[in-house]
């Protein structure tokens, strides 16, 4: 009985079956967000090892620092991204950051600036969600960036050797 009803529904409603691929895509996207938190190790003022041993991609990283729903770094920092009009000045300019800090020092700042300055307003992009309960529903149990995205942003920042002219 039930089976027949089901077949009937599927046959009779084309739009549902057509939207299935889109639905499965969404489902896999949200599963990716719920990936388990990867522990990292701070040594001095740096995280010397890439998160999850991943290799970053500077081109993707450049997109992530612009993306308002991801890094949104331009809200607070100046960067050599001339096609974006507004650059914030709340944080220091990131021009030439790779000539001031090592890769590991940059990684710790992106992952959790609060380790260096507990009072900072800079968000920790990869803090362990189990330690934070007073967060908006949408972020509960999640990090702002994935390990791959952190590595992409770090790879992009490592290309910034030149100071602001
Ligand atoms: C809400 C504002 C804000 C946002 C958004 C923000 N930052 Fe920051 N950032 C700061 C401030 C303020 C500091 C200065 C240090 C501090 O407050 O501890 C800082 C410091 C830094 C530093 C160290 C700079 C130095 O010269 O030592 C790096 C690297 C950095 N941020 C990278 C980023 C990246 C990459 C992003 C985006 C993924 C980002 N920040 C997003 C506010 C922000």
Give me the percent of the chain exceeding a pLDDT of 90: 68
Question: Measured from the CA of 120, which atom of ligand 1 is nearest?
Answer: 17
| pLDDT value at residue 103 | 98
Cβ(79) – ligand 1 distance below 6 Å: no
Q: Architecture of domain 36-157 in CATH?
A: Orthogonal Bundle (1.10)
CB 122 within 8 A of CB 57: no
pLDDT digit string, tens, across residues 38-88? 999 999 999 999 999 999 999 999 999 999 999 999 999 999 999 999 999
| pLDDT value at residue 22 | 60
| pLDDT value at residue 77 | 98
CA of 6 to the centre of ligand 1 (A): 54
Cβ(65) – ligand 1 distance below 6 Å: yes
Q: Where are the domains of the chain?
A: 1-34, 36-157
CA of 108 to the centre of ligand 1 (A): 11
């Amino acid at each position: 009985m039930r089976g027949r009803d089901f077949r009937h529904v599927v046959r009779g409603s084309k739009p549902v079956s057509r939207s299935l691929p889109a639905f499965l895509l969404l489902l896999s996207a949200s599963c990716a967000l719920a990936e388990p938190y990867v522990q990292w190790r701070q040594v001095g003022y740096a995280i010397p090892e890439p998160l999850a041993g991943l290799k970053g991609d500077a081109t993707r990283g450049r997109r992530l620092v612009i993306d308002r729903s991801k890094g949104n770094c331009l809200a607070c920092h100046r960067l050599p991204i001339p096609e974006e009009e507004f650059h914030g000045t709340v944080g220091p300019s990131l021009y030439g950051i790779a000539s001031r800090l090592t890769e590991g020092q940059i990684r710790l700042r992106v992952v959790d600036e609060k380790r260096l300055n507990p009072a900072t307003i800079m968000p920790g992009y990869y803090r362990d969600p189990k330690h934070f309960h007073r967060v908006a529903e949408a972020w509960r149990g999640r990090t702002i960036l994935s390990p791959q995205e952190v590595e992409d942003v770090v790879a992009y920042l490592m290309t910034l050797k030149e100071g602001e002219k």
